Structure 1
Amino acid sequence: MLKRILSGSLLLAVGLYACKTKPPVSTTPAVRESQGVYQYVEEIPTRTGTQASAFFSDKKGVVGRNGMVATAHPISSEVGLSILQAGGNAVDAAVAVHFALAVVYPFAGNLGGGGFMVYRDQAGKAYTLDYREKASGRATQNMYLDSAGNVRPSLSILGHLASGVPGTVDGMVEAHKRFGKLTWAQVLQPAVDLAANGFLLTDRDATGLNRIKGDLLKINPDKTYFLRSTTPGDTVTWHKGDRLVQTDLAKTLQRIQTRGRADFYEGETARLLAEEMRRGGGLITEDDLKNYHATWRDPIQATYKNYKIITMPPTSSGGVALVQLMRFTEPYPLRKWGWNADSTVQVMIEAERRVYADRSKFLGDPDFVKIPMAELMSPDYLRTRWTDFSFARATDSKAVRGGTIPGYESLETTHFSIVDKEGNAVSITTTLNGGYGSRVVVGGAGFFMNNEMDDFSVKPGVPNMFGLIGNQANAIAPNKRMLSSMTPTIVEKDGKLFMVVGTPGGSTIITSVYQTILNVIEHGMSMQQAVNALKFHHQWLPDKTIFENGAFSDNTVLKLQERGYILEKLTNTLGRMDCVMVRPDGSYEGASDPRADNTARGW
């Protein structure tokens, strides 16, 4: 069966600000096979030539008219597409993708973690769902400190004590119950099949599992989960093309498919999880699981020129920070200055410096601390934060603290973006925190637990694994949600859906989303170009700017260094973006990051 999804050539003449010629345009749609159905999918060309160094690669975007799915793994993208083609909506596809990622992307896809969802329906109404993990009811503020008050290394990162109460399953149940169209059994079936029948590992999949083998053997000494051999202690390595079958995980998914929330939080899976915690000295109990509930929160909605930013409120710090960054940037002619020109970069670095200082001081779980969100994003407050900015020199981070508000008391995640035929849009970022979380695999259930406790401020002023500094607002407390940098975001243009964006990356999530949005809005890039574009990051402390190789020209580096900026070229990369943009003709451009196995699928 040959199904023509797109016909003809659709011209796209956008790119970097300085380019004076239009990019070459392919007039021949690519043909690919998706689950036995051949589909024409037009690929958007990426600019080449003198500006090519601005991009990580020349990967092409994908165009579809009836829906788009962009995720971290090619299999999960196919799952999402199949749900849309079966008549499901964006939330149905999102739930199916979420559970599929728990099977095919154990690095960050999860049952034992949590996340955030931003949803905009076809009528323009926005919703946000917080299914972030919580500390156990038995957690204490100083649980990771020794008798002298010093942090005990690794306790909040590796092993059973590092895990918070998972929120993923309850979050997906809530999202589907409110907005789903297909049955719960239908959207769970692809994940069940993948776990039971297995899937073929990509090279990146195999490399990741081999890398954590030592931790798996140490933390799970009597188990063989995620090991190639079924003999405990065997060190046989995984290779590309090997089939990973997860029998216990398939049984867990079948129980969730049958009983929903009741299994994971009060049934057999809850029993297995609590038993695993007792076995390894963790804190999570049956009562912690029973008492966990995801929370619907009011979305942050703010304007930037003729665009509306719809993003996540706390316990994500991402939404507040993103709005601050956009508003710091708005008065400046970035388009005129140009992409990553010295003045453009300087304004962005200085905005990032102040925003991350505010994050440290003010942000935490709104159910536990008073967060002055409106004040933090207000133009008057931001003007006071900007009074010490000078183009002549870099601001010293040691002189920057969180701002003063009257009356106030003091890259191991995954993202996916989905838009359906009707224009409903979902932006979800979910995580175990570090890659493969705490490395604890729940015996009998077959899934990794998170190490989200490290996202609390274990001790005020001491950085977490991402180098972020926290204070009292994000201190550990029983049943409290830890602060996150996840920034799932939807952008409107002139009142209509325009972009769905997000990325993993720990502390770099916020700045990667910020740059990707500006790349489209200010620098005229296509969605895929904005994802491909090289990136940089500053987070207040440590006082340095890291950047991907090629992100700054030699001239930009020289000018910034002359003004006192400390620059560090990375040997790795920033961000793993998965985004969707609505093109002027109403079709969708799916953009997936070339830095990993990320894949967009449309129809």
Structure 2
Amino acid sequence: MRYLSLAFLSLLLLTVACRKSTPKISKGAYEFITDDPNAQPIVYTKKGVFEKHVMVAAAHPEASRVGAAIMKKGGNAVDAAVGTFFALAVAFPWAGNLGGGGFMVFRAKDGQSYSLDFREKAPAAAYRDMYLDSLGNVIPNMAWLGHSASGVPGSVDGMVEAHRKFGKLPWKDVIQPAIELAEKGVVLTENEAKGLNRVRSDIKKYNPGKTYYLKTGADTTWKMGDLFVQMDLGKTLRRIQEKGRAGFYEGETARLLIQEMAVAKAPIVQKDLDAYHSAWRTPITGTYRGHKVISMPPTSSGGIALVQLLKMVEPFPLKRWGWHADSTTQVMIEAERRVYADRAKWLGDPDFFKVPVNELLDSAYLRKRWSDFNWAKASDSQAIAGGAIPGYESNETTHFSVVDAEGNAVSITTTINNGYGSRVVVGGAGFLMNDEMEDFAVKPGVPNVFGLVGSEANSVQPGKRMLSSMTPTIVEKDGKLFMVVGTPGGSTIITSVFQTILNVIDHGMSMQEAVNALKFHHQWLPDRTTFERGAFSTQALNALKAKGYAIEPQTGTLGRMDCILILPDGRLEGGSDPRADNTSIGW
């Protein structure tokens, strides 16, 4: 209870003492606790995958198969992660990529942890107000769609660097499966067929004269079961296989990328490609109920925000109150409100801005952030800004998790931002470019496409990495590997990872149940909570609304989790999201 003032502690204890007991409904390995005696557990029914030695949980079954097969051949978790990454670049163009970037958290079998930042960078020609018109207003879609939306890609450099430092198999062996997928073709799932059909008009608009991602002939509509062949992408992958980093950032691929981007307002040129290098950084670590949490530092906001959230709710008896009970939800919303306000004010590229990491994670600071909490009513986001630090001067995405037989674990979240990125395909090279420039505060104080507000800490500057919400995370228990977790979802990534960890540790769910469980999200601004339909009982919703919470159903789903849990008997449980094609495969 060290984070609470005496007055707040008294109020908390009074609330617990007065709270009525709630009925419990058995559901698998956990009990669903609800205020509504007639409610049933409303979760997806997908079952977890259990294996003894290795596990890969990824967004596409072909990518998971590639990762598991690489470990079958003697590769370790990093080899499998690299192979899975390149397979996703072929089989999952919605978010898998060569033209984007991301983050990796790696925990070696000896317990040492590492994090790799391969986030995209702004080109050297970029400047603070490049997305504003003559009146200082944001030009719609310019940082989101088309050639000017792209930052310098970091994905290939990141995979090369991860393999150089920790890989076991030869580089050519971990790339070969992706080449075969590109050249022989991938059988489209129903979700991928629908996705390609949805972006057909944008692909045609931003790629005149090209036929990439378009189905040609009499029938122009992609269908489940169609074979999707990408010969130019296969050639690009062969150059990367032969020359490593130079196969992308130099030579023919670089020439094609530069030629494609020449029409952008801040075009990517050869000096941008030469200057790009991923960065090894010190992971963010914290504890929650005796578990060690290892996550991603800035340029990602995910690790700091996740540890803040866990520390802020740790004093509360969430297990006793129950999953998605009104009190549980209230403290989670209020913690999220304050953490996202801090994100907007204090987080950015640490190579350009002094991020106050230690101060943001300080217990006294977090206790002060709770000082204006009131059980009786919702806080007002307009009245809650980023916290004051004395003396200090101031997603579409995909995730996959890998554990090998030796206990090495990899958590990678990678992105081209929105689904299919900027919708620009590099002519002759066959890969999509990112639209990550939109993740900058293109005008500080103005929300981006995810509704996130940023400050000068995340303003556009040449060579700067844009802030991210990606939260690849590894959790230890009693000094041993316990859980690997992460998800796509833009601004909702942090809260989805947060809830999944709570689902396992506080609510006793299995890995798959924690992934299946319906989720909610609050991000400070806009001042509302969205939730997947069915996530709350009517009684819990009414109690929250009576206190002034603006809470409304999400039009779609939240999260696409791919996670792994290590069970007490040493088996691995893969939990892949039922909301899409996510698949866990092991042996």
Shorter-normalised TM-score: what interval?
over 0.9
CA distance in structure 2 between the aligned counterparts of 1:566 and 1:422, rounded to whole angstroms: 47
> CA shift at 1:329, angstroms?
0.5
Instruction: Tell whether 2:530 aligns with 1:546.
Output: yes
**In the TM superposition, what whole-angstrom CA distance separates every residue of 1:547-574 from its partner, at most 9, and x where no partner exists?**
0111110010010011100011123110
> CA shift at 1:56, angstroms?
3.4
Does the residue aligned with 1:84 lie in a helix, a strand or coil? Answer: helix
Change (3 A) 1:53 1:427: farther
Q: 1:23 aligns with which of 25, 28, 36?
A: 28
CA distance in structure 2 between the aligned counterparts of 1:596 and 1:514, rounded to whole angstroms: 20
Change (3 A) 1:235 1:20: closer
Give runs of aligned pairs for residues 452-491 of structure 1, distance below 5 A.
452-491=436-475
Give the structure 1 partner of residue 119 of structure 2.
Answer: 132
Could you tell me whether the CA contact under 8 Å between 1:55 and 1:532 is conserved in 2? Answer: no
> CA shift at 1:20, angstroms?
6.1
Q: 1:369 aligns with which of 347, 350, 353?
A: 353
Instruction: Tell whether 2:576 aligns with 1:592.
Output: yes
Could you tell me whether the CA contact under 8 Å between 1:46 and 1:59 is conserved in 2? Answer: no
Letter of the structure 2 residue corresponding to residue 602 of structure 1: G
> CA shift at 1:18, angstroms?
5.9
Give the structure 1 partner of residue 333 of structure 2.
Answer: 349
Q: 1:78 aligns with which of 65, 73, 79?
A: 65
Q: 2:324 aligns with which of 331, 340, 344?
A: 340
Change (3 A) 1:333 1:46: closer
Instruction: Tell whether 2:422 aligns with 1:438.
Output: yes
Could you tell me whether the CA contact under 8 Å between 2:101 and 2:414 is conserved in 1? Answer: yes
Instruction: Tell whether 2:157 aligns with 1:170.
Output: yes
> CA shift at 1:280, angstroms?
5.1
> CA shift at 1:57, angstroms?
1.3
Give the structure 2 partner of residue 4 of structure 1.
Answer: none
Give the structure 1 partner of residue 252 of structure 2.
Answer: 268
Q: 1:179 aligns with which of 154, 157, 166?
A: 166
CA distance in structure 2 between the aligned counterparts of 1:322 and 1:66, rounded to whole angstroms: 29
**In the TM superposition, what whole-angstrom CA distance separates every residue of 1:261-296 from its partner, at most 9, and x where no partner exists?**
012112211111001001455511111011100000
Letter of the structure 2 residue corresponding to residue 536 of structure 1: F
Give runs of aligned pairs for residues 313-462 of structure 1, distance below 5 A.
313-462=297-446
> CA shift at 1:301, angstroms?
1.1
Give the structure 2 partner of residue 7 of structure 1.
Answer: none
Does the residue aligned with 2:211 lie in a helix, a strand or coil? Answer: coil
CA distance in structure 1 between the aligned counterparts of 2:31 and 2:320, rounded to whole angstroms: 22
Instruction: Tell whether 2:223 aligns with 1:242.
Output: no
Change (3 A) 1:46 1:427: farther
CA distance in structure 1 between the aligned counterparts of 2:469 and 2:504, rounded to whole angstroms: 22
Does the residue aligned with 1:303 lie in a helix, a strand or coil? Answer: strand
TM-score (norm 1): 0.91
> Identity of counterpart residues, as a percentage?
64
> CA shift at 1:411, angstroms?
4.7
CA distance in structure 1 between the aligned counterparts of 2:38 and 2:72, rounded to whole angstroms: 38
Could you tell me whether the CA contact under 8 Å between 1:108 and 1:435 is conserved in 2? Answer: yes
CA distance in structure 1 between the aligned counterparts of 2:298 and 2:317, rounded to whole angstroms: 30
Q: 2:195 aligns with which of 208, 225, 248?
A: 208
> CA shift at 1:429, angstroms?
0.2
CA distance in structure 2 between the aligned counterparts of 1:67 and 1:52, rounded to whole angstroms: 37
Give the structure 1 partner of residue 269 of structure 2.
Answer: 285
CA distance in structure 2 between the aligned counterparts of 1:350 and 1:389, rounded to whole angstroms: 8
**In the TM superposition, what whole-angstrom CA distance separates every residue of 1:416-466 from its partner, at most 9, and x where no partner exists?**
000000010000000000000000000000000000000000001111110
CA distance in structure 1 between the aligned counterparts of 2:40 and 2:397, rounded to whole angstroms: 27
CA distance in structure 1 between the aligned counterparts of 2:493 and 2:256, rounded to whole angstroms: 33
> CA shift at 1:408, angstroms?
1.6
Give the structure 2 partner of residue 114 of structure 1.
Answer: 101
Instruction: Tell whether 2:583 aligns with 1:578.
Output: no
Instruction: Tell whether 2:92 aligns with 1:105.
Output: yes
Does the residue aligned with 2:341 lie in a helix, a strand or coil? Answer: helix
Does the residue aligned with 1:442 lie in a helix, a strand or coil? Answer: coil
Extract structure 1 runs of 4+ deviating beyond 6 A: 45-52
CA distance in structure 2 between the aligned counterparts of 1:320 and 1:379, rounded to whole angstroms: 13
Unaligned runs of 5+ in 1: 1-16, 25-44
Could you tell me whether the CA contact under 8 Å between 1:302 and 1:310 is conserved in 2? Answer: yes
Could you tell me whether the CA contact under 8 Å between 2:25 and 2:41 is conserved in 1? Answer: no
Letter of the structure 2 residue corresponding to residue 490 of structure 1: I
Deviation larger for 258-267 or 110-119: 258-267
Could you tell me whether the CA contact under 8 Å between 1:61 and 1:590 is conserved in 2? Answer: yes
Letter of the structure 1 residue corresponding to residue 335 of structure 2: A
Does the residue aligned with 2:262 lie in a helix, a strand or coil? Answer: helix
> CA shift at 1:540, angstroms?
0.2
Q: 1:146 aligns with which of 125, 130, 133?
A: 133
Change (3 A) 1:311 1:18: farther
Could you tell me whether the CA contact under 8 Å between 1:360 and 1:471 is conserved in 2? Answer: yes
Change (3 A) 1:21 1:141: closer
Could you tell me whether the CA contact under 8 Å between 1:19 and 1:51 is conserved in 2? Answer: no
Change (3 A) 1:427 1:46: farther
CA distance in structure 2 between the aligned counterparts of 1:95 and 1:264, rounded to whole angstroms: 15
CA distance in structure 2 between the aligned counterparts of 1:599 and 1:236, rounded to whole angstroms: 28
**In the TM superposition, what whole-angstrom CA distance separates every residue of 1:487-506 from its partner, at most 9, and x where no partner exists?**
00000011110000000000
Unaligned runs of 5+ in 2: 1-21
CA distance in structure 1 between the aligned counterparts of 2:140 and 2:394, rounded to whole angstroms: 28
Does the residue aligned with 1:106 lie in a helix, a strand or coil? Answer: coil
Does the residue aligned with 2:377 lie in a helix, a strand or coil? Answer: coil
Deviation larger for 584-593 or 261-270: 261-270
Could you tell me whether the CA contact under 8 Å between 1:135 and 1:476 is conserved in 2? Answer: yes
Could you tell me whether the CA contact under 8 Å between 1:54 and 1:533 is conserved in 2? Answer: no
Deviation larger for 107-116 or 402-411: 402-411
Change (3 A) 1:54 1:142: farther
CA distance in structure 2 between the aligned counterparts of 1:377 and 1:483, rounded to whole angstroms: 18
Letter of the structure 2 residue corresponding to residue 355 of structure 1: V
Does the residue aligned with 1:441 lie in a helix, a strand or coil? Answer: coil
Letter of the structure 1 residue corresponding to residue 113 of structure 2: A
Instruction: Tell whether 2:181 aligns with 1:194.
Output: yes
CA distance in structure 2 between the aligned counterparts of 1:46 and 1:91, rounded to whole angstroms: 36
Does the residue aligned with 1:543 lie in a helix, a strand or coil? Answer: coil
CA distance in structure 1 between the aligned counterparts of 2:31 and 2:343, rounded to whole angstroms: 36
Could you tell me whether the CA contact under 8 Å between 1:55 and 1:529 is conserved in 2? Answer: no
Letter of the structure 1 residue corresponding to residue 167 of structure 2: G
Letter of the structure 2 residue corresponding to residue 320 of structure 1: I
Residues matched between the structures, number: 564
Does the residue aligned with 2:392 lie in a helix, a strand or coil? Answer: coil
Could you tell me whether the CA contact under 8 Å between 2:32 and 2:322 is conserved in 1? Answer: no
Does the residue aligned with 2:530 lie in a helix, a strand or coil? Answer: strand
Change (3 A) 1:433 1:392: same
**In the TM superposition, what whole-angstrom CA distance separates every residue of 1:32-71 from its partner, at most 9, and x where no partner exists?**
xxxxxxxxxxxxx999999995443110000011100000
